[in-house]
Every structure is written in C-alpha cells, then in structure tokens.
Amino acid sequence: GAVVSQHPSRVICKSGTSVKIECRSLDFQATTMFWYRQFPKQSLMLMATSNEGSKATYEQGVEKDKFLINHASLTLSTLTVTSAHPEDSSFYICSANQGAVETEAFFGQGTRLTVV
Amino acid sequence: GDSVTQMEGPVTLSEEAFLTINCTYTATGYPSLFWYVQYPGEGLQLLLKATKADDKGSNKGFEATYRKETTSFHLEKGSVQVSDSAVYFCALSDQLTGGGNKLTFGTGTQLKVEL
C-alpha cells in the first residue's frame, strides 16, 4: 500500500515555543491531507483538512492561528503548533487519500507532542 | 453530527479465543464503515471496510457486517493470535456530511492476546 511518513515521531518542547510536524506522501500525490489529534482514551478528532495550494479547512473549535497548516506541494503538509502550552500535549496524526472520494486513507505514524 | 461508539478496552484474551469488539454509529447520511488497526509504534492501517448495508468486510481472519437496522459494525475473529495485539479503531465516512474522505473515529479498543 501507499506510504505516509510523519516526522518527528516524538517531540518535547518548552512552553511558548513552536513545533512543526511534517506529513509526507512518499509514493503518491495527495491534493488533500487530514490532521487529527488524539487525547488519551479518546477518539481521533479531525482538526483540519489540508488542501494543496489553498487554505486549510478547520473544524469547529480548532484555532487557526494556533495550528498553522501549510500544504505547499502535492506530497507535503506541515502542522505548526504555535506558542505551545502544556494543554497542547497530545498525539497528532495525519492521513492522505490516494485518489478521489471514498478511497483508502493512509496514515502517518503519528507524533507525540509533550509541552513542558 | 456523526459519531462512533466502541467498547472500551483493554480486552485481554488467550490465544485462539473468539474476539468481538462492538461498534455502533450514528450518521446523517449513508456512511461507509471501517475498521483500522494500529500496531505498537506504527500508524493506523485499514483492516477492512463495508460501504453499504449488509456488506461484510473481511481481512486476515477478521470480519464485520454492516447492519443498518442496528447501526452496528462489530468486529469478530474466530481465533486470535498474539500478533493480533494492537489498538482497533472503528470509523465511518459520511458522503453527505463529510465529503467522503473525512473519517469519524471511535475511541479505539486495545486488544491484548496472551499465550
């Protein structure tokens, strides 16, 4: 199957700093990628839809200025957590679909962010 | 809005035991249903799916049937192995409300299989 690579897998940062997470589709082009967040013992919650060459679409309640998404190419989307705080500590995971509607989603390995 | 409810874990079984992980859903439109599996240290992988009522998805000995009347998609396997130890996520995509590719997930159920 197709491969989506997410980097880094773990990151620890100080409160007030920014952290960038990369999501790459290694062997296919993805015009759309999705960013999810998972709190302990809770569902993966969709944060935003990343659209190549245009602005991301954020889900209700997600702060656009806090979670900056850039999808500058067909194989790379980045999520930047700005001015991170301990409550931003979570597991972030991206996915991409290899094609149009209703195709299989391929997921990255996820990033464990800890803000201290 | 759309939602998925699945049984809490962890579920601990002996090897060769029968597995059922319950999943029920609510959706506005006509969803497709999925089971994803996450092995330790890896990303989510599609295990099986069903796109319409009464469809049965199957893979690697796992199966689940799309039951519209009970809004359920329970995951079953007749004989689990230690290598099946992982976290299992039930999910749906709703063409009507989610544009087809957005996924709504359950909380995940951790399965531990012991010798």
Q: Mind telling me how many Å the CA of A72 is from chain B's nearest CA? A: 20
Beta-carbon separation of A43 and B4 below 8 A: yes
From B35's Cα to the closest Cα of chain A, the distance in A is 11
Compare all CA atoms of chain B with the CA of A92 and give the residue at the minimum distance.
B43
Contacting residues of B for A58, CB less than 8 Å apart: none
Which residues on chain A are in Cβ contact (under 8 Å) with B109? none
- Please determine, for residue A100, whether its predicted confidence score (pLDDT) is greater than 70: no
| Poorest-pLDDT segment among A94-108, B15-29, B52-66 | A94-108
Residue B58 scores a pLDDT above 70: yes
B51 in A contact zone (CB under 8 Å): yes
Asked if B32's CB is within 8 angstroms of A105's CB, the reply is: no
Residue of chain B whose Cα is closest to the Cα of A35: B102
- B76 and B17 Cβ atoms separated by less than 8 Å: no
What percent of chain A stands above pLDDT 90?
66
* Identity at B43, one-letter amino acid code: G
CA distances from B27 to A7, A14, A81 (A): 33, 40, 31
Span B10-25, average pLDDT? 97
User: Chain A within 8 Å of B106 (Cβ-Cβ)?
Assistant: yes
Which of A35-39, B41-45, B89-93 has the weakest average pLDDT?
A: B41-45
Locate the chain B residue with the closest alpha carbon to A104.
B46
pLDDT of residue A85: 96
In angstroms, rounded to a whole number, what is the distance separating the alpha carbons of residues A25 and A8? 15
Nearest of A44, A53, A58, A52 to residue A25 by alpha carbon: A52
> Could you give the count of Cα atoms lying within 13 Å of A95 in the half-sphere of its Cβ?
24
| d(C-alpha B60, C-alpha A91), whole Å | 28
Residue closest to B99 by CA, chosen among A29, A7, A103: A103
